[in-house]
Amino acid sequence: MTREMGKVLKEAGGDVQEAIDCTYYSAGEGRRLHGFTTPAEMPNKFAMCVRQPVGLCGLITPWNFPMAIPSWKLMPALVCGNTVVIKPAEDTPLSTYNLVKACEEAGIPAGVVNLVMGRGSVVGSRMTGHPSLRLISITGSTETGQMVASACAERNAICSLEMGGKNAIIIMDDADIDNAVEGSVWGAYGTSGQRCTASSRLIVHKKVYKKFVDKFVERVKTLRVGNGLDAKTDVGPVINQAALEKIMNYIDIGQREDKARLACGGNQLTKGEYSRGYFIEPTVFADVKPGMRVEQEEIFGPVTSIVPFATLDEAIKIVNGVRYGLSSAIYTADVNNAFHAMEELYTGICYINSATIGAEVHLPFGGTKATGNGHREAGTQVLDIFSEWKSIYVDYSGKLQRAQIDQVEI
């Protein structure tokens, strides 16, 4: 995985462990798959509902978590009784191949899990329009998700979308600043910022703004950029040339168009060992104002923006003031602030005294607004994607009972 997409080796190990955790969790849910029974309206009648498989599911997965995210889709789909066609990102086919190979070695019958390779514009588009695929589940950009949703709508297929994010951490004036700095560094630069949950905005109270910025920038400057296979590396390369160009363009926008202060970083690394990869310095923009492009748009790289605020309600407004709604966080020692933020932050995930990254497999994962279309992955909620409800009525009265009609008095 590290050779494929560059994430540091420890993070790659965590990616694999998440696939293991997801598999164990999904297997346990196979012993439940709960429906429910309920009293019927009529005497001598039994009513219940059960889950049934959707059928053949198309799974399209991204490169940034090339084993964890495929497992989020594949394992619940199988446990619900479906067959699948899975297409990994063209940059990271080997990790998903290894996952599918593990399924084969574990005894999954031939034809149940089918792996196809290719570019999204070719193979992915064929999948989304294929009449045999009853469901398409995709994790990718918001723009790609919208195209998939449109293609599925044309043929009335089920569609589950996990898309972009522009996540923010609020740092209150009563926060543990050192803890907030460490969390913000991890959230902003883990996986080189190439996470849909990355902490790409840091919303900092004016009373501690200078102190936080100074400590944060000092800490960021200590991060070592390099080969992910080197145990000393903190930040690996970005995925490919196109990503590098997009990120560097946003760094340019931040300086020229937004007029934000470049506090550190901002350069592509090209000399020596860096000549053989797509390396960018961890970058910090300070004194960023709400509405700037680097504050609003998903960059998907090792870049974060620091925005000052005066009141908690102002901070919440800034967090909610983007098109996405995936993950948010707040650092505070005040339980009242924490609960107010939990209630008002309009995101699918919310952390208290932690960064915006680090989801666990037994809770639902997903977001609001342009982040998705209302479905959730992970947790028991994912079962609602990969199964359909069937209501069952058993009448043992021995005569015709016409439900509501027989109860009407005229």
Give me the CATH number covering residue 320. 3.40.309.10
**Do 200 and 145 share a domain, yes or no?**
no
Q: Do 381 and 235 fall within a single domain?
A: no
Q: Is residue 410 part of a domain?
A: no
Structural domain count, the chain: 2
Tell me which amino acid residue 250 is.
Y
Is residue 401, in this structure, part of any structural domain at all? no
Q: What's the CA gap between 94 and 88, in Å, rounded?
A: 9
Tell whether 337 and 188 lie within a shared domain.
yes
Amino acid making up residue 266 = G
Rounded distance, CA 22 to CA 245, Å? 34
399 within domain boundaries:
no
Q: Alpha-carbon distance 131 to 96, whole Å?
A: 24
pLDDT for 410: 62
Same domain, residue pair 112 and 251: no
Q: What is the pLDDT of residue 353?
A: 98
The answer to whether residues 29 and 156 belong to one domain is yes
Q: Is residue 364 part of a domain?
A: no
CATH number at residue 147: 3.40.605.10
The reply to whether 109 and 252 lie within a common domain is: no
Let me know whether 149 and 288 are in one domain.
no
Are 263 and 124 in the same domain? no
195 and 154 share one domain: no
405, part of any domain: no
pLDDT of residue 404: 83
Percentage of the chain lying above the pLDDT 70 cut? 99
Q: Are both 155 and 183 inside the same structural domain?
A: no
- Other residues' Cβ atoms within 10 Å of the Cβ of residue 200: 27
Q: Which residues are part of the catalytic machinery?
A: 162, 196
pLDDT of residue 407: 73
Q: Tens digit of pLDDT for each residue in 295-345?
A: 999 999 999 999 999 999 999 999 999 999 999 999 999 999 999 999 999
Q: Are residues 150 and 179 located together in one domain of the fold?
A: no
Residue 406 is assigned to a structural domain of this protein: no
Together in a domain, 37 and 140: yes
Those residues of the chain that have pLDDT short of 70 are 409-410
Strands 113-115 and 168-171: unpaired
Helix, strand, coil shares of the chain, percent, nearest 5, are 40, 20, 40
What is the value of pTM for the model shown? 0.95
Indicate whether 276 belongs to any domain.
yes
Domain region containing 29: 2-163+372-394
